[in-house]
Chain A
Amino acid sequence: MSRRSKLVSLSEAAGLVGDGDRLALGGFTIYNRPLAFARELVRQGRRGLTVVAMTAGPETELLAAGGCLSRLETSYVGLEKFGLAQRVRALSQSGELEIVDYSEVTSFDRFRADGDNQTFVPVDYLAGNSIVTPESGITPFTCPITGRPLFAVPAARPDVTVLHVPAADEFGNGLIPADRVMPQDLDIVMAQGSARLILTTERIVRTEDLADVAMTVQIPAFRTSAVVFAPWGAHPGPMSGNYETDEPAFAEFAEAGRDQATSAAHLERTVYGPRDHDDYLNEFGVTRLVGLLRRRL
């Protein structure tokens, strides 16, 4: 018997997400976001999703623009220097999207709780803060050791976790380099707490070569449900160590969110028009994409 390959198409992997699921998408603000995957969810017309995040960025704005999103749990939603996430903002203001606010550290603690298989994290500093609401599930209780007032912040409990990684093998070993930045550490924590984990990857590498770089395998294959080859899968955002932001394309995406009509036209051109991710990349062309490759050694 041979080992089972988990390599699937982007379309098949997106099919693992059901309507109404709680979805965790890797990366931080605009960095290392699984945007090819988000575009495929929009293409497939997924509905009623909850995004649970530490920070939400372009992946959430895409899902909002595509009508996939009904709830967002996060400490931040925005596009960093490209400004506010305008579709998220519009849907929030019209009441079609519920945003539940957490603080940055507690929104991260929620994923750590999943990794520890706990239902909540105790926090001692939320008194008086407006994030304590029935919708957030943040619940006051008394410390059984000291008698101090505490708050229980519920675990993130995503149904599906999707991370975009620099490299993976077909069995689901995810490689994250030693000279990583903080967003990549967050991905490792999200993987630890995942129930069903999908990796999209810039490169597929040979399993026999992993022995040389075993320290970089931070997401072990046995945790992973599916692997998707998705080069430039974070485009138009940046991918740490691989490529920089496609600034004109990202700015156009951010700007398109300002009203319903320009957002719909932008989705038509970048999501519904292209048959799949390969077709999307061909629209931009080799010269454009190669020009984004990181120049730093």
Chain B
Amino acid sequence: MTHDCNPREFLAIQLARTLRDGEVGFTGLSTGPRAALYGTGIPLAAMGLAQRMHAPDFTILLCGWVINPRLDALEFLPELEFSDLMTDLPSEGHITGYPNAIAYKRGIVDVGFSTGAQVDRFGNLNSVRIGVDGPPDVRLVGPILQPEHFAVFGREVIAMPTHSPRTFVESVDYRSGVGHRVDGMSRADLGLTTTGPARVLSPLGLFGFDDGGSMQVSALAPGVDVDEVTAQTGFAVMPAAESPAPPTAEELQLLREAVDPHGVLLAAAS
């Protein structure tokens, strides 16, 4: 049977099912309510749910320095990475050095989450600039940790706060995260050894990639149909290979009562 849930809960549950026991997951903070929901809130809720369902040895690495924070202690989402709210958040450990215990380059992180302004069919991500040559039309924040997320983390979940033809584009203006194809070359051709982008999370649903590295529907959010995805995407998205199992009563109860009891992680973005 199906259970009533909002689209944010649906996405968190579908994402939680893709996380595996024993893995290490990394997410940071984001600026603005929509980016915070997709880049931080839903990923944290998914990781917290996975820990309580099938992955008790999953490790949450918040901002790369807070290990297994007590998510249920959060009364609102932190906006400042080194504020007292973060240092006082109950957790298993704090890492002070850089990169230190995380040892990014050794591939210690299994799954990362990152946001950007543009993503393309092959999961290339851009958080640097709009405009290909010369001075940018719009300058954005920069590559940040994306080159590492997409090349040394085991796999990546791209979290897009908006889904439109302006954000899901045929070709990104800058590759700060390298996807499955670059100028006809595969990741193997480029010498990249990790999976790269495995999922894309957006208000319209959860997406994956087919064997050729092209974006494909995994699970449409409640109330969303393929026509809407087609209209809002700047390239052809492959349909889902199979339809996802709906959220179970146990998943919903754990999410609401144990993972996010104050409704902080999955609050609607105003």
A residues adjacent to B (C-beta < 8 A): 28-31, 74-78, 80-81, 83-84, 88-89, 92-95, 99, 101-106, 108, 124-131, 148-149, 180-186, 189, 238, 240, 244-245, 294, 296
In the complex the two chains form, what is the Cα distance from A129 to B185 in whole Å? 12
Which B residues form the contact surface with A (CB < 8 A)? 31, 65, 79-84, 87-88, 95-99, 104-105, 128, 134-148, 151-152, 174-176, 178, 182, 185, 187, 190-192
Instruction: Given A125-B152, A238-B83, output 7 extra A-B contacts at Cβ < 8 Å.
Output: A28-B82, A75-B144, A75-B145, A80-B31, A80-B81, A103-B143, A129-B175
Knowing A74-B142, A101-B142, A105-B145, the reply to whether A183 touches B192 (Cβ < 8 A) is no
Q: Verify A182–B105 contact, CB threshold 8 A.
A: no
Which of the residues B98, B142, B187 comes within 8 Å of A77, measured between beta carbons? B142
Nearest-CB residue, chain A, relative to B94: A181
Min distance, Cβ B191 to any Cβ of chain A, angstroms: 5
Name the distance in Å between B134's Cβ and chain A's nearest Cβ. Answer: 7
Residues B128 and A76 in contact, CB atoms below 8 Å apart: no
CB < 8 Å neighbour of B138 from A83, A93, A127: A93
Q: Check A29–B81 contact: CB distance below 8 A.
A: yes
10 residue pairs A–B, Cβ–Cβ below 8 Å:
A28-B82, A30-B80, A75-B142, A83-B31, A84-B141, A103-B143, A103-B147, A125-B152, A129-B151, A181-B96
Q: Are A78 and B141 in contact, with the CB atoms below 8 A?
A: yes
Q: Which residues of chain A come closer than 8 Å to B98, judged between CB atoms?
A: 108, 182, 185-186, 189
- Whether the Cβ atoms of B97 and A104 lie closer than 8 Å is no
B166 to chain A, nearest CB (A): 18
Q: Is the CB of A104 within 8 A of B136?
A: no
- Cα(A105)–Cα(B147), bound, Å: 9
| CB-based nearest B residue for A84 | B141
Complex CA gap A92/B81 in Å reads: 26
> Could you tell me the distance in whole angstroms from the C-beta of B118 to the nearest C-beta in chain A?
12
A-B contact count (CB 8 A): 133
**B192 contacts A125, C-beta separation under 8 Å:** yes
Complex Cα distance A77/B139, Å? 10
Q: Closest approach, in angstroms, between the C-beta of B267 and any C-beta of chain A?
A: 16
Q: A29-B81, A80-B81 are in contact. Are A127 and B190 (CB under 8 A)?
A: yes
A77 to B252 Cα, complex, angstroms: 39
Query: Which of these, A74, A127, A296, contacts B192 with CB under 8 Å?
Result: A127
CB-CB under 8 A for A182 and B135, given A77-B141, A127-B178? no
**Whole-angstrom distance between the Cβ of A278 and the nearest chain B Cβ:** 28
A233, B144: Cα distance in complex, Å: 26
Smallest distance from the beta carbon of A263 to chain B beta carbons, Å?
Answer: 16
The answer to whether A245 touches B138 (Cβ under 8 A) is no
Q: Nearest Cβ distance between residue A111 and chain B, in whole angstroms?
A: 10
Contacts of B148 in A (CB 8 A): 103-105, 125
Q: Contact between A130 and B174 (Cβ–Cβ < 8 Å)?
A: yes
Shortest distance in angstroms between A262's beta carbon and chain B's nearest beta carbon? 19
How far does the Cβ of B202 sit from chain A's closest Cβ, in whole Å? Answer: 22
Q: How far is B189's CA from A127's CA once the two chains are assembled, in angstroms?
A: 9
- How near does chain B come to A95, taking the closest CB pair, in angstroms? 4
What residues of chain B lie closer than 8 Å to A183, measured between beta carbons? 82
Q: Flag if B176 contacts A128 (CB, 8 Å).
A: no
Complex interface: chain B residues within 8 A of A127 (CB): 178, 190-192
Q: Is the Cβ of B135 less than 8 Å from the Cβ of A94? A: yes
Contact A185 B97 (CB under 8 A): yes
B residues less than 8 Å from A93 (CB atoms): 135-139
CB distance from B26 to the nearest CB of A (A): 12
Q: Which B residues lie within 8 Å of A149 (CB)?
A: 191
Given known pairs A92-B135, A296-B88, the reply for A128 and B143 (CB within 8 Å) is: no
